[in-house]
Amino acid sequence: MNEEISVRQVKEASLRKGVIANVLSPYPYLFWMTVGAPTVLKAFGVSFLSAFLFIGSFYVLLVGSKIFVALLVDKSRSFLRGSVYISTIKALGFILLLLTAFFIKDGLKLFGLLRR
């Protein structure tokens, strides 16, 4: 089987859609409420510089890693269309199905619906 992956051209509103998706995502808010803000406050207790360096390095690494992944995906377009990649994705999907079956079996045992 030869499967084709189509790549669409980037539309003008892609940046705006990305910003909206990031603003509406709960994960940054959860991070800053539970981990980020307490860490910054503790670092601020040591010195302003340490708090500034934490925030600065956090965002440099966060944005940098996203740029790195985007460049990596851009450079590997031919690999993403290749048969090795398609076969790998299919094999990983099958492994996930097996794992799902094991989890369902364990769940049924825990609920007493299946004998141990």
Q: What does the pLDDT average to over 10-38?
A: 87
Q: What does the pLDDT average to over 59-73?
A: 92
Q: Nearest to residue 5, comparing CAs of 64, 72, 85?
A: 85
Residue 50 confidence (pLDDT): 96
Residue 58 confidence (pLDDT): 94
Task: List, as one string, the DSSP characters of 50-74.
Answer: HHHHHHHHHHHHHHHHHHHHHHHHH
Give residue-wise pLDDT tens across range 68-78: 998 998 888 88
* pLDDT-derived band at 80, boundaries 50, 70, 90: confident
Residue 17, token pair as written in the block: 């859609």
Would you say 72 and 65 are in contact if contact means Cβ atoms under 8 Å apart? Answer: no
pLDDT at 98 over 70: yes
